Amino acid sequence: MNVGVSASTSRRYTALIVLGVCAFAVSCAGPRATTGPRVIVLGFDGLDFGLTRDLMAQGRLPNFSKVATQGMFAPLGTSLPAQSPVAWSTFITGRDPGVHGIFDFIERDPKTLVPYLSTTRTVPGRHNLPVGPWRFPLTAGRVELLRHGVAFWEDLEAHGIPSTIIRMPANFPPSGKAARELSGMGTPDILGTYGTFSIYTSDPALVGQSPSGGAVLSVDDSSGVVHAHFDGPNQPFLRTPQAMHLDFAVAVDGTRQFAKLQVGNATRVLRVGEWSDWVPLRFDVSPLQTLSAECRVLVKELTPYFVMYVSPLNLDPLAPAEPISTPSDYAAQLAKATGRYYTQGMPDDTKALKAGLLTVDEFLAQSRIAFEENRRQFRYTLDRFDGGFLFYYFGDADQVSHMLWRTLDPGHPAYQAAIDAPRAGVIPGIYTDFDAIVGEALQHLRPDDLIVILSDHGFASWRRAFNLNTWLKTEGYLVEASHTSADETGVIGDIDLKRSRAYGLGMNGLYVNLKGREAYGIVAPADRDALLTEISRRLLQTKDPATGAAAIAHVYRREEVYSSAGYDDLAPDLIVGYAKGTRVSDDSPLGVVGPEVLTDNRSAWSGDHEMDPPSVPGILLSNRRLTTAPATLQNLAGTILQQMGIRGFPH
């Protein structure tokens, strides 16, 4: 990882020290409440209010209905924008993005205009000792969580209530301020990405492809044995970056349709179409150090061509190279008790399906594996939950809904009746799985216990794609880079920032190219207000030629919707609320200018939520009537803490 590269030792030692200090602090936090009422909060990412309501009405979610009868069921207002890192950070802190500093999946540094994933940052070691081709870090690098503000579990702990926070998004590295934590969405693979899959193949039709979020690697299977290697992160001790490799071999028996994988000391017999269990991997970092990882493998074909899918190389939960739990050995404890598991924050391989390199059925099988791992851990955690507060997260409804929402929308541009109609029950099936999860939790409840079930946002069919940068160019606010010069200074994607007044970056963000703030700013601060007013008005007037309807439902101005707590320069000037059914195009978030503003979304990624927040509410279920006012993610944690007798949150 560039992140994790440093993967190895020095950072790990730092993490261990930090986590050790935190564990000590927790152990010294005073008497623990283990006998009072307990609170269980289940976070189901992306559970849609409308679909949940309909399934409850059909009697298909009996445990949800039971809870609702005891307390409440209501739509839950999501965050602005309706993106999971933003939404969960809002829930965690009870504050808006202006305070927690997470404005989008993707943000940019105004001084360098380099985009980055919003929740974490890697800080390299400060001093290196160069010796020949080597460099030896003298101080450790680290990964920083960029979410600011006070997490609600800090107040719980301060009141002596032990908290267990499992897979909370936007909590990597874990805060170290709960009794037990396992990091979730935001946790990278060993390359430092949110998940990079690999396809090893001899199929000439696949070789040469460059799928987004993955790699296709050519292999020779003519001898009956495929020799190849896994790509690891860069060697942390080399001055010139060079990826570490781990060799493997696959002996192919095309007649009997199985293969034998040999990597290090691990051997796996792989049948075509069957997912392997976790394969442990060890990269040699130095003669005395190794980097542990793990992967799952699917042999897709052996004849006429060799095609093998390899999952993103996950951090090894038994020896994670990055801090992923509190205490630091908790991740390993879970693995020893329930088996190895996906440590990657978003395990469902949507990218491989989107690229057509996993079939729908292969994707669903992989998603089910991740769900079952999580369910085993949930049962283990629930069985040992003897007091305090438990938050537990499930993410697969969100990921599968992204990929299969069209199965619920025959009007979707990518809908294919033969493929999609038979799968119309897949997403409702996940909802019924969650109903069973709720049922298991209810069995553990005592009379005074509180259970809360929430989702961070809902879902909608994503039919139309809006390229915000193309729109800005069409309207005369953005100048497209010519890409004819070797000097690309001031160019981000296709945008010539030396001549553009505004640009789109991230999923919902629109930035004014403001002088004094942006590296190549050309808009005087005195002109910002008028420019924002004009752009907002013209965005709201934009009609989709395919439907005649407005493409944009609302445009929000930063200073009108966010608090100001020191992160204004990171925030978009405008947050675009796309009309339900429309989302920013795939390519606009990194600065690509396309030929058309609005196009049909023909991608397998057919459902989304990055639309105007009121159109995609989440759900709130509880066995108590928590509030009579419209519930929002932002006020929910404070409401729950009040139920526990704790006031003063949020801070």
d(CA 232, CA 311): 13
Pick between residue 124 and residue 439 the one whose CB is nearest to other proteins.
Answer: 124
Please report whether residue 122 would count as binding other proteins according to CB under 8 A. Answer: yes
Instruction: Compute the least distance from the CB of residue 421 to other proteins, in Å.
Output: 25
Instruction: Compute the least distance from the CB of residue 157 to other proteins, in Å.
Output: 31
Please report whether residue 123 would count as binding other proteins according to CB under 8 A. Answer: yes
Instruction: Compute the least distance from the CB of residue 258 to other proteins, in Å.
Output: 31
Please report whether residue 115 would count as binding other proteins according to CB under 8 A. Answer: yes
Please report whether residue 462 would count as binding other proteins according to CB under 8 A. Answer: no
Please report whether residue 602 would count as binding other proteins according to CB under 8 A. Answer: no
Please report whether residue 582 would count as binding other proteins according to CB under 8 A. Answer: no
Pick between residue 402 and residue 501 the one whose CB is nearest to other proteins.
Answer: 402
d(CA 446, CA 164): 18
Q: Which residue in 527, 590, 627, 651 binds other proteins (CB under 8 A)? A: 590
Residues contacting 291, CB < 8 A, separation 6+:
4, 7, 8, 190, 232, 233, 244, 282, 283, 285, 321
Instruction: Compute the least distance from the CB of residue 487 to other proteins, in Å.
Output: 14
Instruction: Compute the least distance from the CB of residue 123 to other proteins, in Å.
Output: 8
Using CB under 8 A, which of the segments 278-286, 344-352, 444-452, 565-573 binds other proteins? 344-352
Pick between residue 155 and residue 610 the one whose CB is nearest to other proteins.
Answer: 610
Interaction mask 402-431, other proteins, x per CB under 8 A: x-----------------------------
Instruction: Compute the least distance from the CB of residue 126 to other proteins, in Å.
Output: 6
Strand boundaries in 549-597, DSSP class E: 552-557, 574-578, 582-584
d(CA 180, CA 331): 10
Using CB under 8 A, which of the segments 514-522, 583-591, 612-620, 626-634 binds other proteins? 583-591
Pairing mode of beta strands 307-310, 128-131: unpaired
Q: How far is CA 339 from the centre of its chain?
A: 23
* Residue 185 and residue 345 in contact, taking contact as beta carbons nearer than 8 Å: yes
Please report whether residue 213 would count as binding other proteins according to CB under 8 A. Answer: yes
Q: Which residue in 17, 27, 111, 126 binds other proteins (CB under 8 A)? A: 126
Give the angle 215-217-223 at the CA atoms, nearest 5°. Answer: 160
d(CA 192, CA 349): 16
HSE-up (13 A, CA, CB side) for residue 349: 36
Using CB under 8 A, which of the segments 112-120, 297-305, 386-394, 550-558 binds other proteins? 112-120
Q: How far is CA 466 from CA 106, 417, 586, 609, in A?
A: 17, 25, 9, 14
Please report whether residue 114 would count as binding other proteins according to CB under 8 A. Answer: yes
* Residue 122 and residue 143 in contact, taking contact as beta carbons nearer than 8 Å: yes
CA dihedral sign, ordered 498, 502, 508, 509: positive
Binding residues vs other proteins (CB under 8 A): 2, 105-106, 114-117, 122-128, 141, 188-189, 191-196, 212-213, 312, 346, 350-351, 354, 399, 402, 507, 586-587, 589-590, 603, 605, 610
